[in-house]
């Protein structure tokens, strides 16, 4: 229940419905997820392998792809490879990673490949629905665990002004990440820090961008220690 919290209100949801492609190699999981998703989410395609996924995504051009981290086929790169194969569509299509794995290598690899967020497969349908709308709206979706990975990778000391801005999190971003890691929803984070939800979302997106773009020494080292590179 706590894995991912949304704003909880319908205000965050765009008026139009969202077109979604589900990529997962387990047919049972796909059908279960489809049944769990909100009625305003239209599943326009399904895929079970890397090749199928790239083809379906190119054909359907969905708003959001729910992407399993581990997939058969392709060169063995799983979800990461699907994102790489759909690179030209990244501006219009957003990827939300789904995984049963909490392993840092799986999560960070898909995020760095371009996914806009990550949720575990054990979360409820309502939570995934919320995450889909959030990602479709251009925001990032952070679970407490992903926030923990970020804090682990970037360190918990705030950035100096002299630092390369990609290399460290600002004091405010750190605060936001810490609260998310503690299980706070975006709304609760906003309340705790006396800022608007929009500002929280901005901070989270900035962190996501840093996670994707930073080539910082410590991040590389952190990743290498966990055999992510």
Give the residues lining the site for other proteins (CB under 8 A): 1-3, 101-103, 144-145, 147-148, 151-152, 156, 178, 181-184, 188, 225-226
Q: How far is the CB of 2 from other proteins (least distance, A)?
A: 4
Q: Kindly tell me which of 102 and 167 has the beta carbon lying closer to other proteins.
A: 102
Rounded to 10°, the helix 186-193/171-181 angle is 130
Residues near 165 by Cβ (< 8 Å), separated by ≥ 6? 159, 210
Q: Kindly tell me which of 7 and 86 has the beta carbon lying closer to other proteins.
A: 7
Q: Kindly tell me which of 40 and 170 has the beta carbon lying closer to other proteins.
A: 170
**Element at 149 (helix H, strand E):** helix 144-154
* 15 exposure class (CB count in 10 Å sphere: 0-12, 13-18, 19+): exposed
Q: Kindly tell me which of 101 and 196 has the beta carbon lying closer to other proteins.
A: 101
Is residue 41 helix, strand or coil?
Answer: strand
Tokens of 212: 């994707």
Residues near 23 by Cβ (< 8 Å), separated by ≥ 6? 46, 47, 48, 52, 53, 56, 57, 65, 66, 67, 68, 71, 79, 82
Q: How far is the CB of 182 from other proteins (least distance, A)?
A: 4
Q: Kindly tell me which of 46 and 127 has the beta carbon lying closer to other proteins.
A: 127
Q: How far is the CB of 122 from other proteins (least distance, A)?
A: 8
Q: How far is the CB of 158 from other proteins (least distance, A)?
A: 13
Report how far residue 116's alpha carbon sits from residue 110's, in angstroms, rounded to the nearest whole number: 9
Q: How far is the CB of 97 from other proteins (least distance, A)?
A: 16
């Amino acid at each position: 229940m706590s894995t991912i919290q949304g704003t909880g209100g319908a205000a965050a949801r765009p008026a139009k419905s969202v077109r979604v492609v589900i990529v997962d190699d387990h047919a049972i999981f796909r059908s279960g997820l489809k049944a769990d998703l909100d009625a305003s989410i239209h599943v326009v395609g399904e895929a079970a392998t890397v090749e199928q996924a790239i083809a379906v995504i190119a054909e359907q051009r969905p708003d959001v792809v729910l992407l399993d981290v581990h997939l058969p086929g392709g060169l063995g790169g799983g979800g990461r490879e699907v994102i790489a194969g759909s690179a030209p569509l990244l501006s219009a299509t957003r990827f939300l990673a789904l995984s049963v794995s909490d392993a840092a290598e799986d999560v960070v690899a898909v995020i760095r490949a371009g996914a806009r967020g990550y949720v575990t497969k054990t979360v409820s349908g309502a939570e995934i629905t919320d995450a889909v709308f959030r990602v479709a709206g251009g925001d990032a979706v952070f679970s407490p665990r992903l926030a923990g990975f970020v804090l682990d990778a970037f360190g918990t000391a705030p950035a100096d002004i002299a630092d390369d801005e990609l290399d460290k999190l600002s004091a405010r971003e750190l605060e936001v990440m810490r609260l998310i890691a503690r299980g706070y929803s975006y709304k609760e984070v906003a309340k705790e820090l006396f800022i608007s939800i929009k500002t929280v979302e901005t901070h989270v997106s900035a962190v996501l961008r840093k996670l994707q773009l930073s080539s910082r020494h410590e991040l590389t080292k952190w990743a290498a220690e966990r055999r992510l590179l």
